[in-house]
A = this chain, B = another copy of it.
């Protein structure tokens, strides 16, 4: 049997484009002699469709797409993912299942529903779907297929999140092969985990395994592809490319071995975290603009490392000609900041404008003079600068149709080192899931072939330049220390006592955690953040705003 894996980039709610893309892949696969082409989980709707799933009209359009695809399936079978009405609804439960359709001979032959519904981090599947409790293999061309959906194969033995394991039921029916359709978001450590967990499944059940993932970004959630094929010994037969679409073919031989029809694209070695983050962010920016119907990005360029990295990423993702980098110097801006920014623009070839903000902040201070007279310069005046810049950038968005890229990094977002409605503005946050120490690594990666980010932006001490001679280190621990504490608290959810015990200074730890906790109200209002780590701010981390935090 010849099986095609279709690793495609879908667009949530765009039924015309998703359906056309799927039918095109079916036609190509048929021309290439495939018996079966496999698409990803919920490919008709895109993932995650969120509360679109609560609209009956939306579910109806998914079914319409499925029927169009079925009609195109003459002489070939396919597997697609789509939401379907809960078949047990008369007994109660949620309205929907997260389903796979097995389609052959122009119609839906069998419906398989997901049993294990992820409902943690960015996942909300139990909000919409009723879990399946009965399991039946799919018969096709003399083969018995154990078809499962993503998390169904993810109930790890060490710390099972669910009380059932669908494959333990399906294996009783003596299947010949496992197929898993997935929507498994990118995080820089996720490829290795995926290969390990899926390989263990192949080995445990002694079956070849075909696994198809999405690629493409859906606002903050990025899918990296990397669809996988395993032999029944658990060894990797093939690994589809990361961050790009691909249609690949395999022969499932009678002895249950698998032969790729094209040269296997197994990675010779794992990509570094930073290279993966780089590619994920490029895809995240590109799809955010493309799927929103926008082309042109704008950002404020300070001469510092964060905006320089965002500018370089945007130029790569959108083309330098579609990036407007605006210099917004104030009286506290240093001359090296301006020259560093200019050097970057020269290296990238993007568009640029300069708007001085001194007269604007003066106008605010004059207008507020009756209220502020006699009071010392403080954070109010500092923030006036950041907010004046944001107003200028947003005015340019409104006038010319740009989308503003936010340039805050995860370390700043964590400790609230940023101005709400100032540098925290933007349509999408590019680095909000990238710690400052990783931003430096990204800069070096970007410069791997030639200097794009000016060396001076990398080596100079970071500063917000909102008052004379300001340095980040005036108010924050050094970033190596800060980032390690943040990972312990945010990613690992350790208590201050545990972090202190592992060797960090008590005062620093308590101060950092307090800063993180008191910035919840700021993070609530930040733009969506491209997610590249296993624990990003946003939908994946839901903390109370008004609450008494431990510290």
A256 within 8 A of B: no
Given contacts A363-B360, A391-B387, whether A378 and B398 have CB atoms under 8 Å apart is: yes
A331 within 8 A of B: no
Residues of chain B within 8 A (CB-CB) of A13 are 544, 547-550
Choose among B92, B524, B545 the residue that contacts A155 (Cβ–Cβ < 8 A). Answer: B92
Choose among B17, B364, B548 the residue that contacts A392 (Cβ–Cβ < 8 A). Answer: B364
Within the complex, what minimum Cβ distance (angstroms) separates A368 from chain B?
Answer: 6
List residues 271-314 of chain A with CB under 8 A from any CB of chain B: 287-288, 291-292
Choose among B372, B392, B396, B550 the residue that contacts A57 (Cβ–Cβ < 8 A). Answer: B550
* Chain B residue at minimal CB-CB distance from A399: B380
Q: Is B12 in contact with A544, judged by CB distance below 8 angstroms?
A: yes
Query: What's the Cα separation between A313 and B549 when bound, in Å?
Result: 28
Choose among B12, B399, B497, B549 the residue that contacts A546 (Cβ–Cβ < 8 A). Answer: B12
Interface size on A, residues (CB 8 A): 98
* Per-position 1/0 for A39-76, Cβ under 8 A of B: 00000001011111011111001000000000000000
Residues of chain B within 8 A (CB-CB) of A544 are 12-13, 46, 48-50, 52, 218-219
Residues of chain B within 8 A (CB-CB) of A58 are 550
Q: Is B163 in contact with A541, judged by CB distance below 8 angstroms?
A: no
Given contacts A12-B548, A49-B544, whether A391 and B364 have CB atoms under 8 Å apart is: yes
Q: Is B54 in contact with A493, judged by CB distance below 8 angstroms?
A: yes
Query: What's the Cα separation between A391 and B544 when bound, in Å?
Result: 26
Q: Is A364 in contact with B368, judged by CB distance below 8 angstroms?
A: no
Within the complex, what minimum Cβ distance (angstroms) separates A512 from chain B?
Answer: 16
Choose among B48, B287, B355, B383 the residue that contacts A367 (Cβ–Cβ < 8 A). Answer: B355
Query: What's the Cα separation between A388 and B218 when bound, in Å?
Result: 33
Choose among B163, B363, B366, B383 the residue that contacts A394 (Cβ–Cβ < 8 A). Answer: B383
* Chain B residue at minimal CB-CB distance from A396: B371
* Per-position 1/0 for A424-445, Cβ under 8 A of B: 0101000000000000000000
* Per-position 1/0 for A85-105, Cβ under 8 A of B: 000100111100000000000
A375 within 8 A of B: yes
Q: Is B368 in contact with A395, judged by CB distance below 8 angstroms?
A: yes
* Per-position 1/0 for A506-518, Cβ under 8 A of B: 0000000000000
Given contacts A11-B548, A380-B395, whether A50 and B425 have CB atoms under 8 Å apart is: no
Residues of chain B within 8 A (CB-CB) of A50 are 542-544
* Chain B residue at minimal CB-CB distance from A360: B363
A162 within 8 A of B: yes
Most buried by B among A17, A363, A549: A363
Q: Is B398 in contact with A162, judged by CB distance below 8 angstroms?
A: no
Q: Is B162 in contact with A92, judged by CB distance below 8 angstroms?
A: yes
Q: Is A367 in contact with B378, judged by CB distance below 8 angstroms?
A: no
How many monomers of this protein are in the complex? 2
* Per-position 1/0 for A355-369, Cβ under 8 A of B: 111011011101110
Residues of chain B within 8 A (CB-CB) of A378 are 398-399
Choose among B288, B368, B495 the residue that contacts A55 (Cβ–Cβ < 8 A). Answer: B495
Q: Tell which of A120-128, A193-201, A229-237 binds the partner.
A: A120-128
Residues of chain B within 8 A (CB-CB) of A391 are 364, 384, 387-388, 391, 421
Query: What's the Cα separation between A396 and B387 when bound, in Å?
Result: 13
Query: What's the Cα separation between A543 and B162 when bound, in Å?
Result: 27
Choose among B48, B399, B495 the residue that contacts A56 (Cβ–Cβ < 8 A). Answer: B495
A319 within 8 A of B: no
Choose among B46, B381, B498, B549 the residue that contacts A547 (Cβ–Cβ < 8 A). Answer: B46
A525 within 8 A of B: yes
A119 within 8 A of B: yes
Given contacts A364-B395, A395-B364, A420-B394, whether A495 and B371 have CB atoms under 8 Å apart is: no
Residues of chain B within 8 A (CB-CB) of A268 are none
* Chain B residue at minimal CB-CB distance from A524: B528
Q: Is B161 in contact with A93, judged by CB distance below 8 angstroms?
A: yes
Q: Is A399 in contact with B387, judged by CB distance below 8 angstroms?
A: no
Given contacts A366-B359, A368-B392, A399-B380, whether A61 and B161 have CB atoms under 8 Å apart is: no
Residues of chain B within 8 A (CB-CB) of A387 are 390-391, 394-395
Query: What's the Cα separation between A27 and B248 when bound, in Å?
Result: 71
Q: Is A367 in contact with B371, judged by CB distance below 8 angstroms?
A: no
Given contacts A127-B119, A392-B368, whether A12 and B547 have CB atoms under 8 Å apart is: yes
Residues of chain B within 8 A (CB-CB) of A163 are 88, 91-93, 130
A353 within 8 A of B: yes
Residues of chain B within 8 A (CB-CB) of A539 are 542
Residues of chain B within 8 A (CB-CB) of A120 are 127
Between A and B, 28 residue pairs with Cβ closer than 8 Å are A11-B547, A12-B544, A12-B547, A17-B548, A49-B544, A52-B544, A57-B497, A57-B498, A92-B160, A92-B161, A119-B124, A124-B542, A130-B163, A218-B544, A218-B546, A219-B546, A287-B546, A292-B546, A355-B371, A360-B367, A364-B392, A367-B392, A371-B399, A380-B396, A380-B398, A384-B395, A387-B394, A391-B391
